[in-house]
Structure 1
Amino acid sequence: MPTNTRRFPKLAAALLALGVATNPLPAAAADFTQVPGVYRQAIGDLQVTALFDGVAFLPVQQLKGMPPAKTQASLDTFHVPQTQDGVQTAVNAYLVRRGGELLLVDTGTADCFGPALGQVLGNLRAAGVRPEDVRHVLLTHAHPDHLCGVLTADGQMAYPNATLWLSEADARYWLDPATRDLAPEAMHPLFDMARRAVAPYQAAGRFKAVGDGDALPAGVERVATPGHTPGHTSWRVHGSGQASLLVWGDVVHYHAVQLRHPEAAFEYDSDRRQAVASRKRLLAEVAERGEWVAGAHLPFPGMGHVVREGRHSAASYRWVPTEFGPIGKP
């Protein structure tokens, strides 16, 4: 598993602890790669750009609370790509233009997870946006595939004019040296990465840990979805009228399984019972609202809608991805 082990000697063990495997494309596929991972979607007056960071592979065995045969049946039904390392899983970030302001939800992995990922910053530039123009970076949580991208390769602020927003509960957990010391040693690099990533923003007065009732950027709503991490947050961005987009971070990892069976948990949720409860509540809410949703680990571009299936007492859902279409004004 290729990783940036020179910076974090124990990072490979930490990534294994999170259940993540990363693989670069084989040499034979080098001339068969995709164009830059950028997708634009208009949602009312919101202009949303999905930014692809790359793919990771999550072992099927790390999906808990489901019989293996039932899990595999769901993966087969939806033709989810699998390798010997696990289920292909996208890593996405989302840029939202609201009025004259640019908001970025999550930032990808930068160089923390090896050469198969770390494409958000390049794809942002490919979309014609300068990182200096981003005013707010909203983090769903402090795991490295969402947080590492706040820094450049030389450790500087990738978004020097942005304020970094993270939930108070995640900040307390991931940025506290005492919590790190109590965690398993294999997890220590994850704490180190989180502290290193936010340090320049803290020094510049551009880091905000937010709790209930705290002021947020205009049009932004913080939706608490704890369980995957203590302070995991989904962010809702409101446009004019009824237009809105909910970016739910890691509420779902295995979309083909966890939408049909929301009770299925991920082995490395910090509180599996709470994560399941958050997922059930949020899926019911967005399906009822008919709201636009974006997910960090949904197949790129990861935007679409959730619809409820059947009328059984145990709720089951289906993902309806956005359809490609031309947007914009001449």
Structure 2
Amino acid sequence: MTIDRRQLLAGMGGAAILGLPLRSPAATSATIGTHEVLSVSDGNLVLPGAFFFDGLPQDEVDSILTPLNISKNQLEPPCNVTLVRHENRVILFDAGSGDGFMPSAGDLVDSLDAVGVAPEDVTHLVFTHGHPDHLWGVLDDFDDPVFADAEHMIGQTEWTYWTDPNTVSTIGDARAAFAVGAARRLEIIAERMTFFDDGEEILPGIMAHASFGHTPGHMAFEVRSGSNALLIGGDAIGNHHIAFARPDWASGSDQDPDLAAKTRARLLDKLVNEDIALLGFHLPDGGVGRVERKDSSYRFVAEDL
């Protein structure tokens, strides 16, 4: 696999890209065989630190966060949406937030434009899961599909969960709006949707990996060509600090914290043992990098080649 950071050429509509290293929200790319993988920004979230750190041993939390210069009070995780170009396909993994979730997010359409991709160019829209920052951008202000020409794809388990009318009453008060928002959007795009299960090759060279826990049917995706591979991780590994240093700790960001911790440990182990790169939705520097292991902990190393 080769990874580079490329500067967009001003004044050329984003279509021409120079081979110059630069950290940019829409400039991180990787090549896996004939698949070109780009990380494009949907902006960032703004979350209270308590969302991640309440209930954890605070002294150990401090020892993890301080070297990374991360505040316990407020976090602003990036939202890295994955775009894959392969043959005649333009594949988008997740739809971002749209303008209905947080004012700091919802930049996806502009970021796609910066790399020369219009919404009508997208041939396949694949969802990792149904949380707002991954799903709500599927509709515009008039409730019309943003990616109107794309085949929409989601794991069967995730679809069943968010379209179940009982979900809103069982998900908990803090996430009830997530359930209402997901159900409404999925109903509108239902006729466009196709479904897949764990282990299926959903498109050539792209396999679905069940990574349940963050949501009941969360999916990650392995892009592979021979021995070269990259995992589109969604939120299965949801940050570059606690999730790597103590993957066994439960996280308030996960709907099933215990299952999510087991999934996280399994994926981190797989990424190290099989030398697979990672593109994480909320990881820094565009989210593309490698996982390194030290004893029972890990660390994320952004690639910049």
- Residue deviations 1:49-102 (CA, integer Å, cap 9, x gap): 11111222333333366311211221111123x374x22211110101122211
Query: Which range moves more in the overlay, 130-139 or 224-233?
Result: 130-139
Query: What percentage of residue pairs aligned between the two structures are identical?
Result: 31
Contact persistence 1:53–1:93 (CA under 8 A): yes
Change (3 A) 1:249 1:42: closer
Contact persistence 2:158–2:217 (CA under 8 A): yes
Change (3 A) 1:77 1:215: closer
Q: Which amino acid aligns with 1:58?
A: L
Contact persistence 1:306–1:317 (CA under 8 A): yes
Q: 1:39 and 2:27 equivalent?
A: yes
Contact persistence 2:220–2:234 (CA under 8 A): yes
Q: Which amino acid aligns with 2:45?
A: A
Residue from 273, 287, 304 that aligns with 1:302: 287
Q: 1:114 and 2:99 equivalent?
A: no
Q: Which residue of 2 aligns with 1:150?
A: 138
Contact persistence 2:28–2:40 (CA under 8 A): no
- Residue deviations 1:257-288 (CA, integer Å, cap 9, x gap): 22011112211422111100000000000111
Q: Which amino acid aligns with 2:142?
A: D
Residue from 55, 58, 77 that aligns with 2:67: 77
The alignment's TM-score, normalised by the length of structure 2, stands at 0.85
- Output the aligned Cα RMSD: 2.2
Q: 1:246 and 2:231 equivalent?
A: yes
1:214 CA drift (Å): 5.5
| Cα distance in 1, alignment partners of residues 281 and 174 from structure 2 | 24
Within 5 Å, which residues of 2 pair with 1:197-212?
197-202=185-190, 205-212=191-198
Change (3 A) 1:215 1:224: same
| Cα distance in 1, alignment partners of residues 55 and 189 from structure 2 | 39
Within 5 Å, which residues of 2 pair with 1:156-195?
156-195=144-183
Other structure's SS at 1:92 match: strand
| Cα distance in 1, alignment partners of residues 151 and 182 from structure 2 | 16
1:142 CA drift (Å): 0.4
Q: Which residue of 1 aligns with 2:15?
A: none
Residue from 33, 47, 53 that aligns with 2:42: 53
Structure 2, gaps ≥5 residues long: 1-22
Change (3 A) 1:186 1:283: closer
Other structure's SS at 1:96 match: strand
Within 5 Å, which residues of 2 pair with 1:88-107?
88-107=76-95
1:207 CA drift (Å): 0.5
Contact persistence 2:244–2:298 (CA under 8 A): yes
Contact persistence 2:201–2:207 (CA under 8 A): no
Contact persistence 2:199–2:210 (CA under 8 A): no
Structure 1, gaps ≥5 residues long: 1-34, 326-330
Q: 1:316 and 2:297 equivalent?
A: yes
| Cα distance in 1, alignment partners of residues 30 and 43 from structure 2 | 23
Q: Which residue of 1 aligns with 2:267?
A: 282
The alignment's TM-score, normalised by the length of structure 1, stands at 0.79
Other structure's SS at 2:286 match: coil
| Cα distance in 1, alignment partners of residues 60 and 270 from structure 2 | 26
Greater share of residues in strand: 2
Change (3 A) 1:291 1:183: closer
Q: How many residues align?
A: 282
Contact persistence 1:43–1:244 (CA under 8 A): no
